[in-house]
Structures are given as C-alpha cells and as structure tokens.
Structure 1
Amino acid sequence: MQTRTRDGLVLLLAGVLLGGGLAWLVGRRQESPPAAPRALDAVPAGALLVATLDLPALRASPAFASFLREEREIPGLGRVRDVCGFDPMAGLTEVAIAIPAAGDPGDFGLVAAGAVQDEALLACASKVIDARGGRPVVAALGSFRAVRDASAEGRGEIAVRPGGPILLGGGAYLRAMVDAADGRAATVGASAAHDAIARAVGDGAARVTVVLTPEQRAELGRELALSGAGRSPAASIVSGGAAVALGPEIAVHAAVLCDAEAPCAELGAQLSAARDARAEDLATRLIGLGGVLERIAIAAEGKALHARVRLSAEEAGALVDRLASLRGLRQPSLSPREPPAPAPQPPALEGTAPPRGDAAAPPPDAVITPRQRTGPGDGGAR
C-alpha cells in the first residue's frame, strides 16, 4: 500500500514537472522575437529584375568597402549624418532592388532590411522634403507609415515600420510592396523562373536575376529580325543573371537560360567570339579589362549558358576603381590651348593707315575703355 502511494506521488510529481516544463517552453516560444524580415519578402511577384546586396559581406571586402563607407550626401543639403542626426545605412544588412515587368515607365522599388529607426527615418525624410520647399505628409499604409511630398504628386515615397523593412518606391508599386510585406500578396519568392536562374548562378554577396515575360521575348525577337539579324539565338533567352561571391578570390558567375539547347550553344559561340574581339580592343586594354575578358570561361550546358571568372581582391579593387573613374576620363580636357598664330599682314604702304584689327588693335592684356572701341558697330570714339 505504501509502495503504491509512493509510486502515485512520483508519477503525479513527474506530471506536474513535465506539464510545467512544456508550459514554460511554449511561453518562451511565444515570447521569442519574430524572425527579422528579409528584403525579398517585400518584393512583389511579377518582377522583371531583382537585385540583392549583402551589405556586411560587401563592407568586409577590400574591393567594395570604400564605396559603402564613404560619407553619403543629400544634394544641396549636406552629409546625411548632419541632416538626419544618424546614418540610415549604418545598421542595414540587406538591400533588394526590383523593377516590375508591368507598370509605368520608371517604376522601381527598393527594400532595405536590418536595424531600422523608423521614427527617426520618417523625421529625416520629412525634414529633407521641407528643406526643399515641399510639403511632407505622413500616412498609414498597412502596417507601415509612409512619408511623401504632397506638393509633388507622383514622386517617390518612403515607407517604414518598427523593425523594418524600409520601402522606397512610388505610387501603385509602393503599395504592392506593402501588400507583399504584410502577407496580402504573393512575393517574388513564389516565382519559379527567378528561382531557377538564382540557382543557376548560385549565392553571392551581390546577385541579380532577370526574367523576361513572353511578350518581352516576342518583342526582342521582332527587334532582332528588324535589325537584320534574322533568327538570332538571343531570341531564345528566357532569363539571365549574375552573382558575385566574395572570399580570398572574387568569383563572378553569370548565366543565361534558354528555351532550347541548340540556340544556347550558338549563343555561347557568338559570345566567345565577341569576348575574344573585345579583349584585343585597345580601349578595353587601357582600363584593365582585356586580361579579365581573356580569362572568362564560357560554356553551354544543355539549356543553360554559363560564364565564369575569378579575380584576386586586389585585381577586383583596381578594376572597380578604374570603372568608377571612367566618367572622369570621358570629360573634355580643360587644359589651355595655344591661341592660333595671327595671319601675316602685308606691309603698310607709306602714308596709309595701318590695317584695322592688326596694328590698331590693343595688346591682349590691355583694358578696353569705351573711347578705345573703334571696331565695327561701335560708332567710333565715344
């Protein structure tokens, strides 16, 4: 009898402890913070182009760090940190840029995820709009709050919610991004076509994928036919993309997916020939791209065409710097030019006045006073 009583108490105690432990675990699960939002979770389905950036990885790379660490400025207002009191980019970890396949020309969306100061960001955006003579208006959009310039309809808006992400876009596309982030609409993650090209190029600190619609592919085929190219293998392209993986070496992997194997192989042969020709171009050599082009390996694999190249961090950094300076190289020279030599004048005959515009002209550094102006249209001395 005592043994049964003891066993019953043990079972009861075990049940209490087990039940309490389960309740504690459930409570901990409910109290744990939700997963941080990902940038792609706010990109709506139906995107033509999607680009993603892993900001911590890029900041840690010698080739790209200088571009992300530079002090950013707001044109006409000064440094972002001075205007806002903080740098909104400092705590961000991921950025996605999207261009919709359908919509108004110029439509695009930007999503930034990471540590977000929503109130400070809205205050900063309002301050910038006000400083530029606009009228900032803050309104609720789903779980987000957005700020826009009410005096400039059709311009971009910034939307943010506590914990992020930050959305930047305009009009209908910004609202589509809000619906995607709030779970009311499908995201680009449901796109099998974007997923296929993303898997083809692999992961990377920077990645871009492009998926053509059937209408865009048909239009591409028509344009190639009109240009005299006939049936070009480029008309078989379904999607394309590229990824940049960072490490001891920087690996760039680009790929194109086609609707058939033969045109993909033909396109690979054309690109190989174009690569070889471009690698020998003098301008390409001058900016340091010739050697890189020669090392690009192009290979067709069934309905996929791959291009791969590896660079050292130093080589990649130098190449990025050169490409960034191309705009400066295109500027016209501002060095002074020698003035053209004056045309020889015949000697003046005795008793005649010197030719107008030669001996009568003042030296180049002379100050012309009204009385000295005797050229045509001046009406003589005044």
Structure 2
Amino acid sequence: MQTRTRDGLALLLAGALLGGGIAWLLGRRQESPPAPSALDAVPADALLVASLDLPALRASKAFASFLREEREIPGLGKVRDVCGFDPMAGLTEVVLAIPAAGEGGDFGLVAAGAVQSEALLTCASKVVEARGGQPVVTQIGSFHAVRDSSAEGRGEIAVRPGGPILLGGGAYLRAMIDAADGRAEPVRESAAHREVAREVGEAAARVTVVLTPEQRAELERELAPGGGARSPAASVVAAGAGVALGPEIAVRGVVLCDAEAPCAELGARLRAARDARAEDLATRLIGFGALLQRVEIAAEGKELHARVSLSAEEASALVARLASLRALERPAPAPRLPPALEGRGAPPPAGDGGAPSPDEVVAPRRAEPDGGAR
C-alpha cells in the first residue's frame, strides 16, 4: 500500500512538472521578440546622435502639433497621397546620426516602430520614378535598399521586415546596415556616448556629441590661431542635451571637459553670454529673455551643467511662437490669376504708371538736400 502511494505521488509530481514545463514553453513561444531599437543601427564612431521618443512627444501638448502636421514630399504632394499610407504613423523612435569621419554633409537617419517594409519600398520607388529617376532595389545584408541609379551618391533608403528604416548616403548607409546586422559595433557600445547620455538622463529628445582627438586638435588650432592662449572651449571632450516631459518640461545640458579650470572658465563665459542674450530686445520680444535668465549654469569638476524647467503652458506658448516665426520665414506662394483671367497673360508690373491697387503701399516722396524729390 505504501509503495503504491509513493508511486502515485511520484507520477503526480512528474505530471505537474511536465505540465508546467509545457506551459512555460508555450508561453515563451507566444512572446514576441523585442522590437529593434533605432540606436542599434547607429555606428559606434558617430560624432553626433540625436534621438526622439515619438510616443512621448505625441502625448505632449507642447510638441504634438509638430508631429500632427501633414507631411509632404517636395514637388509631389502629401506623403499619404503618394504612398497610400503615412510611414511616420506607426514609428516610435527616430535617430539622426552624423559620422565623425566622412565628407561634409554625410548623415544617417534611422526610424523604428511598426514598419510596412514592402509598402515602403514600393513608395520609395514611386517617388524616384515621379522625379524622373530609375529606381533600383538591391539587397544588402538583411535589408532591401532603393536608390536612383541615374543619380549616384544622392542617398538610399533601406528597410527590413520589422524595421528599422535607414536613410543615408551609400557608404554610411552600409555602415548602419553592418551595425544593425551585428557586423559592427553600434553606438550603444560607445563608452563616451553612454556617459554623456547618462549625465543628461531620461529624455524624450536627446542629443549627444563626442569629439575625436583629431577634431579636438583642429578645434584648438581654430580657437587659438598662431599659438595664442588656449580657449576654454578647446577643453571640451563631449557634450549633450535633453528634454524630459512631464508636469514640467525639464531641459538639461552637460559639457565634459579634460580639466577643471577651463571648465569653470567656460561656465563663466556661458553665464555672461546668457545674461547678454537675455537682455537682447529681440530675444525678449519673442518671450525667451525671461526663460534664459532662469537657466542655471554651474561647473562641477570636469563637468559643466545647465538646467532649466518650465511649465507645460510656458512650453506650449514658446513652441507656438517658434512655429509662428518659422511660418514667417517661409516664402510666400506666388500670386495666381483669377480663373477668368487664366491664360490672358500676367498683370502689368508695379511701377508702370498705372493706378495703385487698393492694397498697394505707396512710399512717400522724400526731399533731397538740394530741394529735389526722390
């Protein structure tokens, strides 16, 4: 009887273990693999890395309007009309990278999130054709890339199922693909970029810059031509800035120096520049003067920190003012004739002797010193 009881308990225990193991395996099978990060496709030797957390920005009253704008392809119209969908709609992360080495103007753009790879390749080919080019699709590693064979060197777009999306010049695009495919170190492995990012902290928008020894030497030569006194800016090794979103908008910047004394001197110069800019009339008129006065700048050993916080309402107002200024800087569209006058030629130019239109402003004639008029 005892033997049968022991055997029954053993079978029950074995069944429980087996059932639990099967349930664990089924659960593991249902887990989706982690989504690729845009930073995984940025080469480790990048000079500048700027990242945007799109869901956080979309949820912010201050910045959401920028992401809701209808995106257009210059000369072709709205992206949704050309492609049949908006590639930005499902994205969660965008990263801009500038290589430390390479021709001026080189850059890479990486986007991660819900990616429709086949639809994106089709859209890119349509855009190339609409501009009179010849689209060519090639496979590079695990990615498919589209380029215009009639315009070599003007950039390519590459994507793989599940993302990310890559945009860049030929050589740098391939460097990004190598990083994404694990054949080269991504920027996550860069100790310098990691240190700057750690000092900046969590942020919905963040930028980190790491100078190479060659760039620092060139900077020092430019700041002290002829072997003059060393500028404190020549001590800069790396820098970064970030914007954290919440009940308050926190902006933080950090500069890493190679020594404490020049870092302190640089801080003093930045505080003087802040005070001068805050008193500038143009800065005060657009509402940035008071904000600049609140920026705290302090040296802490070999680090220089700048911090400022503002309410969501203040941030919304400042962003709205920036948007208004941006709209003013855009060129006004060319005037069009009424439909009834289309095809009848352009109206006579101003100043041909005709009467001024109702909205024309006629400048007053100014007397010259000799009594004449201009």
SS in structure 1 at match of 2:224: helix
- What does residue 370 of structure 1 align with? none
Matched with 1:21 is 20
Match of 1:338 among 356, 363, 366: 363
What's 1:66 paired with?
65
The change in CA–CA distance for 1:18 and 1:331 in structure 2 (over 3 A counts) is closer
1:43-192 to 2 correspondences below 5 Å = 43-192=42-191
**Aligned-residue offset at 1:320:** 2.0
Equivalents in 1 of 2:138, 2:26: separation in Å? 35
Q: Deviations over 1:267-314 (max 9, x none)?
A: 111111111111111111122111011000111111110011111222
Superposition deviation, residue 228 in structure 1: 8.9
Kindly tell me: are residues 130 and 291 of structure 1, through their superposed partners in 2, closer, same or farther at Cα, counting changes over 3 Å? same
1:240 is aligned to 239
The Cα shift of 1:184 comes to 1.3
Report the Cα distance in structure 2 between the residues aligned to 1:243 and 1:14, rounded to whole angstroms.
55
What is the Cα deviation at residue 203 of structure 1? 1.0
Mark the runs of 5 or more structure 2 residues left unpaired by the alignment: 333-358, 369-374
| More displaced stretch, 22-31 vs 324-333 | 324-333
Tell me what 1:41 maps to: 40
Are residue 214 (structure 1) and residue 206 (structure 2) matched?
no
| Partner SS state of residue 5, structure 1 | helix
The question of 1:257 aligning with 2:282 is answered no
| CA displacement, residues 106-145 of structure 1 (integer Å, 9 cap, x when unaligned) | 1111111111111111111111111110111111111111
Q: Which whole-Å CA distance do the structure 2 matches of 1:297 and 1:131 have between them? A: 51
Equivalent residues in 2 for 1:353-368 (5 A)? none
Shift of 1:26: 2.7
- 2:31 maps to a residue whose letter is S
SS state of the match for residue 48, structure 2?
Answer: strand
Letter aligned with residue 15 of structure 2: V
**Following the alignment from structure 1 to structure 2, what is the Cα–Cα distance between the partners of residues 329 and 232?**
37
Task: Note the C-alpha offset of 1:249.
Answer: 1.2
Q: Which amino acid aligns with 2:108?
A: G
Indicate the residue corresponding to 1:230 in structure 2.
229
Letter in 2 for 1:264: C
* Structure 1 unaligned spans of 5+: 344-382
Question: Post-superposition shift, 1:337?
Answer: 4.0
Q: How far did residue 197 of structure 1 move?
A: 0.8
Q: 2:245, 2:75 → 1: CA distance?
A: 35
1:342 deviates by 9.3
Deviations 1:240-265 (A, max 9, x none): 01000111111100110111111111
Give me the whole-angstrom Cα distance separating, in 2, the residues matched to 1:205 and 1:46.
23
Aligned residue in 2 for 1:289: 288
Q: How much identity, in percent, do the aligned residues show?
A: 73
Deviation at 1:28, TM superposition (A): 3.1
1:312 paired residue number: 311
Match of 1:53, SS state, is strand
Q: Measure how far apart 1:328 and its partner are.
A: 5.3
Q: Aligned pair in 2 of structure 1 residues 90, 327: CA closer, same or farther (>3 Å)? A: closer
Superposition CA RMSD, Å:
2.2
Q: Is this contact kept in 1: 2:133–2:150, CA < 8 A?
A: yes
8 Å CA contact 2:221, 2:227 repeated in 1: no
Deviates more, 1:67-76 or 1:319-328: 319-328
- CA spacing shift, 1:331–1:66, aligned 2, 3 Å: closer
Aligned match of 2:340: none
- Letter of the structure 2 residue corresponding to residue 95 of structure 1: V
Distance 1:244 1:47 in 2: 21
1: CA distance, partners of 2:183 / 2:230? 42
Count of residue pairs brought into register by the alignment:
343
State the shift of 1:229 in Å: 6.9
Indicate the SS of the match to 1:244. Answer: strand
Q: 1:368: which partner in 2?
A: none
- The alpha carbon displacement at 1:188 in A equals 0.3
Match of 2:221, as an amino acid?
A: R
- The one-letter amino acid paired with 2:151 is A
Secondary structure at the aligned position of 1:151 is classed as coil
Q: Alpha-carbon deviation of 1:185?
A: 1.0
Q: Distance in 2 between matches of 1:59 and 1:227?
A: 50
Q: Return the index of the structure with the highest Cα Rg.
A: 1
TM-score, normalized by length of structure 2?
0.87
Deviations 1:174-224 (A, max 9, x none): 111111111111000011100111111111100000000011111111101
Partners of 1:234 and 1:29 lie apart in 2 by 53
